[in-house]
Amino acid sequence: MSILSSLITLPLIIIHLITANPGEDASRQVNITWHASQSGTKLYLTTIASDTEHHSSTCNTEHHSGIIQTSHHEKITERQKCLKGDTQTVIPSKIIEINPTEELWSYDKGDSLFQQPRYICRVKLDSLQPGTKYYYSIARTSESTKSTVVSAVSADSADSDCLELRSRNSASTNITEICWRSFTTASGPQTKEWSFLAFADFQHPFNETTHKTIAAGLTLTDNDSHSSRHISGATNKEATSAYSDNKPSNVPAGNTEGPASLHSNTHNNASSSTGNNQLLLCSGDITGTAANESEWRWALDNPVMSDLIFAGAPGDHEYWGIKPEGEKHIPQMPSNLTYNAILTNPQNGCPEYRNSNYYFYYNNVLFVSLNCGDSNTYLCPQFIREADWFRKTILPLKGTYDYLVVFGHKSIYGSYQEDSGVRKYFTPLWYPVFDQAGVDLVVSGHDHMYSRTFALKGDARVSAKGSGTWYLDLGSSGNKYRSPDEGLYKDGLHAKVFDLKTNPKTLGAKIFVSEKEMKVIVFDENGETFDSFTILKK
């Protein structure tokens, strides 16, 4: 008898903040983290595509003596039939049960997020199969095979309604959602054509537009993106403001359906090719206040995130605590404690910023996450050691990838005014490091205004094709907007600058990787192409 087929429900356990993060080699290593209100939860892992044997369990709406779970090959209509009691559902038999490491966290840790004690659970998966879609669920079991299973969202948004199973007894009625999330491993360095998503500053809590923008990015195709007209090369206010009168259209030639068509079959399109659209980056400010747990839940416990591998860098707001009663300003925490308690990244960064400074391979791209510190930008020893780590660790990896992408919160070539310490300390520290490493693309945020540079080297524009580094400040993937300062228009380094305060847009980027180039498509919440540029392989 299958483990899960014999489980019955107990009182509700809160399980949330379930996140899949990349291991150092994302084709074989993925890390799963979740928070549970009780000890003893376990991870159940399966690959449905490779399972040929299934265990059947009869659906009974009056009494459930076991877990009822539909196969992901079934449609939601079949799930609804099950709830009516006129069909059977199946669960794959090849399920691996994994015990996580558990850390009991309480308010004694000094972080105001965790005022209610909980168990931080982590599973580091290794020896996975490349290019494979894995399904997983979280459960709490006991020797008597009793269990409660709670999962915030399902694996497939097409099947977004989780089964609600009611276990009736003389004492109470318990409702348990039984859902499967998923992730897809990278296919490996031989994979030359694929795409990934990049965002900055989710930050504004409960802004539904952010998740709409993610969904729009999942459906955006290479053909769609290049059907639009683009305003590029803007180096002054006049050229930039002209954009509002020349909005690009995302409707391909011959397509009469309009932008709404981009939102149909989102996850079907996203899963159409192995390893495609399965990776999402966020370059910091995942939350507005890190110590506000509801903001983390809004960002991560959402169906649009449930089948993606998430790689996030910390922003300065990941250092922010709860405002003490009577205080006007939100205090900064001494370190990014909540970030490290929620995400489990490769432990290969510099010791001062381990888990938030890290690198990983996904197909033919090497990604590096930087920790850009808290709100006060100055030349601290940690930054110098992080740059030294980059030279000693990343430079020797040349030749093991086709492209090098760095993501971190503060934009090295961003605003001159919003955070003057960046231009004073960050820029001279990092651009020589990136030049030496031959970084292709740096993705950042922090300024809440959109800008991208020309290809730069030596703190200046380069004209030779296939050389230099492109710096992309994605502005805002939430709804906090600012206007650019004069320095961005006058420095001669920026190909495009845009005033998001005057013309608010929630932005994301989709990067199409091929053997010869990376095409960067910046899009808004309606799936309309906002900007685009191409980075040739060095």
Is residue 149 within 8 Å of residue 67, measured between CB atoms?
yes
Q: Give the pLDDT of residue 74.
A: 29
Q: How many helices (H) and strands (E) does the chain have?
A: 11, 28
Nearest in space to 407 (alpha carbons), one of 357, 362, 442: 442
- Both tokens of 45, joined, read 């892992």
Q: Give the pLDDT of residue 88.
A: 32
Q: Give the pLDDT of residue 341.
A: 92
Q: Give the pLDDT of residue 79.
A: 28
Q: Which residue has the tokens 């605003």?
A: 415
Is residue 390 within 8 Å of residue 368, measured between CB atoms?
yes
Distance CA 130, CA 275 (A): 9
Cβ-count burial 291-320 (b if 16+ within 10 Å, e if not): bbbebbbbbbbbbbbbbbbbbbbbbbbbbb
Residue ranges of the chain with pLDDT lower than 70? 1-12, 48-93, 107-115, 141-179, 224-276
* DSSP E strands, 346-449: 358-362, 365-369, 403-410, 441-445
Give the three-state DSSP class for 119: strand
Q: Which residues contact 74 (CB under 8 A, 6 or more apart)?
A: 89, 90, 159
Q: Give the pLDDT of residue 15.
A: 85
Distance CA 377, CA 410 (A): 9
Nearest in space to 33 (alpha carbons), one of 287, 339, 370: 339
Q: For residue 381, give the H/E element and its range.
A: helix 381-389
Q: Which residue has the tokens 């009516």?
A: 84
Distance CA 208, CA 204 (A): 10
- Facing residues of 181 across strands? 136
| CA 461 remoteness from chain centre | 31
Task: Read off the pTM.
Answer: 0.79
Question: What's 305's DSSP letter?
Answer: G
Distance CA 330, CA 322 (A): 6
Is residue 371 within 8 Å of residue 357, measured between CB atoms?
yes
Distance CA 275, CA 272 (A): 9
| CA 414 remoteness from chain centre | 22
Is residue 446 within 8 Å of residue 478, measured between CB atoms?
no
Reported as half-sphere exposure (CB side, CA atoms, 13 A), residue 373 has a value of 18
Q: Which residues contact 325 (CB under 8 A, 6 or more apart)?
A: none
Is residue 482 within 8 Å of residue 449, measured between CB atoms?
yes
Say how many Å lie between the first and final Cα of the chain, rounded.
56
Query: Where do runs of H (alpha helix) occur along 96-203?
Result: none
Q: Give the pLDDT of residue 462.
A: 94
Distance CA 415, CA 507 (A): 18
Q: Give the pLDDT of residue 325.
A: 73
Is residue 161 within 8 Å of residue 25, measured between CB atoms?
no
